[in-house]
Amino acid sequence: MLLSLFKTASAAAKSETRGHLCLNSLTRLYAGSRASGIEGISLECRQGEFVCVVGPSGCGKSTLLNLVAGMLKPDSGSVVLDGVEVRGPGPDRAVVFQDHGLFPWLTAAQNIAFGLKMAGVPRSEREERVQQALAMVHLESSANKLVHELSGGMKQRVAIARALVMDPAVLLMDEPFAALDAQTRTLLHQQLQDLWIKTRKTILFVTHSVGEAVRLADRIVVLHAHPGRIRRVVNIELAHPRNFDSRDITELVHLVRKEIEDEVNRINSEASEFWKPASAAGVDSDTFCLGDGI
Ligand SMILES: Nc1ncnc2c1ncn2[C@@H]1O[C@H](COP(=O)(O)OP(=O)(O)O)[C@@H](O)[C@H]1O
Ligand SMILES: [Mg+2]
């Protein structure tokens, strides 16, 4: 039977019961440095919640996401999804990275179908699910294009479709739009917001862009750096779909950005000679992104 991948918003809200994610005192420090990695992170994501993790470069966002994906093992603590401890990668967690990671010798449709094929899904069901996935990211007319024929934004949309077509309980996204221009990013924010409203997947989204987080998230987790710990959790109590140009969004962006600037200043004041981060003045106030230097 065809898995109910794409439901109407109300049907999805009623029937999706998966996606309750718990991070329990999660610690992963890298050898040779006690300050790299993450330490003691506890976080619970409700089913269907959109949670963004923000923080400066190097604060441990990807480490956190890779632990949830099962690609890294924790030193201590655990990740529990729907009552089952994560012990490695699995189809219940799909990941979208900044680098789309598509196979260049396959078309958009074939890339989306790849995981289904590996999972032994019969051809007719595969084709139907791929068509639905393409429609969700508005790429029906590009189904037969090769990767080099797609724009950067289209490639990321194929990557999102490839993740969603597997019907994961949780969608994990690691700076998926960071390499795109501002206009394309805004378009993809709108599309991701629509997708999330339709599917009600739990999404854990990592970004260094405060603006992106405020646009998309129900809850923003701001990380401390070195080692990564939770500094503050901000609830974004604005209804979806959001108007990204609203004053509420702008005000919240300033609030969360201030948190991170404070963190950059704290790191600066504690930095040793061999590790000197850039100053908070490097924070880009136009795009609400953090500088690269920390
Ligand atoms: N495999 C690794 N070995 C050693 N240190 C690492 C490794 N991966 C990441 N780190 C260090 O851990 C910290 C957090 O990295 P990362 O999770 O990639 O941060 P972010 O995604 O927030 O930029 C950084 O200081 C980074 O240099
Ligand atoms: Mg990263």
* Strand 170-174 relative to strand 93-96, pairing: parallel
Ligand 1 pocket test: pick from 27, 30, 208, 294 the residue with the most ligand atoms within 8 Å of its Cβ: 30
Q: Hey, what amino acid is at 220? A: I
d(CA 142, CA 161): 13
Question: C-alpha angle with apex 291: 289 to 294, nearest 5 degrees?
Answer: 130
Residue 1: pLDDT band (50, 70, 90) is very low
> Are the beta carbons of 162 and 115 closer than 8 angstroms?
yes
Q: pTM of the prediction? A: 0.88
Judge residue 82's burial from the number of C-beta atoms within 10 Å of its C-beta, 0-12 exposed, 13-18 middle, 19 or more buried: middle
- Crossing angle for the helix pair 123-136 and 152-164, nearest 10 degrees? 130
d(CA 91, CA 280): 40
The response to whether residue 60 sits with its C-beta less than 6 Å from ligand 1 reads: yes
Say which residue the tokens 């109300």 belong to: 10
Instruction: Return the pLDDT at 272.
Output: 58
Ligand number, closest to the Cα atom of 290: 1
Residue 38: pLDDT band (50, 70, 90) is very high
d(CA 258, CA 82): 35
Q: Near ion ligand 2, which residues have CB within 5 Å? A: 61-62
Q: For 9-92+168-271, give the CATH class.
A: alpha beta
Average pLDDT of the residues in 132-141:
95
Instruction: Return the pLDDT at 269.
Output: 77
Average pLDDT of the residues in 272-282:
48
The response to whether residue 61 sits with its C-beta less than 6 Å from ligand 1 reads: yes
The response to whether residue 202 sits with its C-beta less than 6 Å from ligand 1 reads: no
Judge residue 13's burial from the number of C-beta atoms within 10 Å of its C-beta, 0-12 exposed, 13-18 middle, 19 or more buried: middle
**Cα first-last separation, the chain:** 49
Ligand number, closest to the Cα atom of 59: 1
**Ligand 1 atom index nearest CA of 174:** 21
- Across 184-218, b (16+ Cβ under 10 Å) vs e yields bbbbbbebbbbbbebbbbbbbbbbbbbbbbbbbbb
**Ligand 1 atom index nearest CA of 223:** 22
- Across 142-169, b (16+ Cβ under 10 Å) vs e yields bbeeebeebeebbbbbbbbbbbbbbbbb
Residue 13: pLDDT band (50, 70, 90) is very low
For the cut 50, the answer to whether the pLDDT of residue 124 exceeds it is yes
Instruction: Return the pLDDT at 294.
Output: 29
Cα of 60 to ligand 2 centre, how many Å? 7
Which of helix, strand or coil describes residue 177? Answer: coil
> Are the beta carbons of 74 and 26 closer than 8 angstroms?
yes
Ligand number, closest to the Cα atom of 223: 1
Residue 36: pLDDT band (50, 70, 90) is confident
Residue 15: pLDDT band (50, 70, 90) is low
Ligand 1 pocket test: pick from 62, 223, 290 the residue with the most ligand atoms within 8 Å of its Cβ: 62
> Are the beta carbons of 200 and 12 closer than 8 angstroms?
yes
Strand order in the sheet with 93-96: 93-96, 170-174, 202-207, 50-54, 219-224, 229-235
Give percent above pLDDT 70 in the chain. Answer: 85
Average pLDDT of the residues in 80-104:
95
d(CA 157, CA 155): 5
Ligand number, closest to the Cα atom of 61: 1
Domain map (residue ranges) of the chain: 9-92+168-271
Q: What is the mean pLDDT of the chain?
A: 87
Ligand 1 pocket test: pick from 28, 33, 59, 229 the residue with the most ligand atoms within 8 Å of its Cβ: 59
Average pLDDT of the residues in 132-154:
96
- Which of the residue ranges 6-15, 73-82, 182-191, 232-241 would you say has the lowest mean pLDDT? 6-15
